[in-house]
Chains A and B, each alone.
Chain A
Amino acid sequence: GAGVSQSPSNKVTEKGKDVELRCDPISGHTALYWYRQSLGQGLEFLIYFQGNSAPDKSGLPSDRFSAERTGGSVSTLTIQRTQQEDSAVYLCASSLATGGDTQYFGPGTRLTVL
């Protein structure tokens, strides 16, 4: 079946604007994760969903970042009042359940804040 998909693949925005990033997990996967990859920082965990609830949102860097998941499927990561330091690749992953299950990654959204 199809893998994890993300949209848009690239997003250029101006400082201070809000952006929404979308993730479509693999069908049937109940767990969904957001990570951020930036130069020199590697991949950093942001938030994890089990179904529609987020048991762990401790990686969100500030209250400008929020995420939701509806219908146990699609998730949206919203960044309000974007700053230049938000420029990064935002990666979404999904897994069948949690615990030791393999996380499968999407291609990412490359965000550039001018």
Chain B
Amino acid sequence: QKEVEQDPGPLSVPEGAIVSLNCTYSNSAFQYFMWYRQYSRKGPELLMYTYSSGNKEDGRFTAQVDKSSKYISLFIRDSQPSDSATYLCAMKGTSGSRLTFGEGTQLTVNP
């Protein structure tokens, strides 16, 4: 069983839709949670970074962490065609520095 599970999709939505992306994890040592966006043939770029349980909002993006359920989510409001990319969840513990990634969800927003 993988430490981080993420549905690879693909997920296709119309422009303007609310998108919900999710990851579950099994390692209770994970304390830092990130969402990266990766366009085709590019490196991942950081979208959201959270430490504690709860919600964090940045523009159209909201990251949610529920440590008790070992579940994290990323919501995208008013999705745009430019949001079409692969979204990767990543997490790490307080000791060590490696990130453990989900497989990534491929998202397409159709105009």
Give me the interface of A with B, judged by CB distance under 8 Å. Answer: 4, 31, 33, 35, 40-45, 48, 50, 56, 59, 91, 95, 98-100, 102-108, 110
B74-107 vs A: 1/0 string, CB under 8 Å?
0000000000000010101010111111111000
A33 touches B44 (CB 8 A): no
B32 touches A100 (CB 8 A): yes
Task: State in angstroms the CA–CA spacing of A59 and B100 once bound together.
Answer: 11
The reply on B46 being an interface residue by CB < 8 A is yes
20 other A-B residue contacts (CB within 8 Å) besides A4-B43, A42-B102, A110-B41: A31-B97, A33-B99, A42-B103, A43-B88, A43-B104, A45-B99, A48-B98, A50-B97, A56-B96, A56-B98, A91-B43, A100-B32, A100-B94, A102-B46, A102-B49, A103-B46, A103-B99, A104-B46, A105-B43, A107-B43
Q: Which 5 A-B pairs have the closest CB atoms?
A: A105-B43, A43-B101, A42-B103, A45-B98, A98-B97
With both chains docked as a complex, state the minimum distance between the C-beta of A94 and any C-beta of chain B, in angstroms.
11
Give me the interface of B with A, judged by CB distance under 8 Å. Answer: 32, 34, 36, 41-46, 49, 51, 88, 90, 92, 94, 96-104
Task: State in angstroms the CA–CA spacing of A38 and B46 once bound together.
Answer: 20
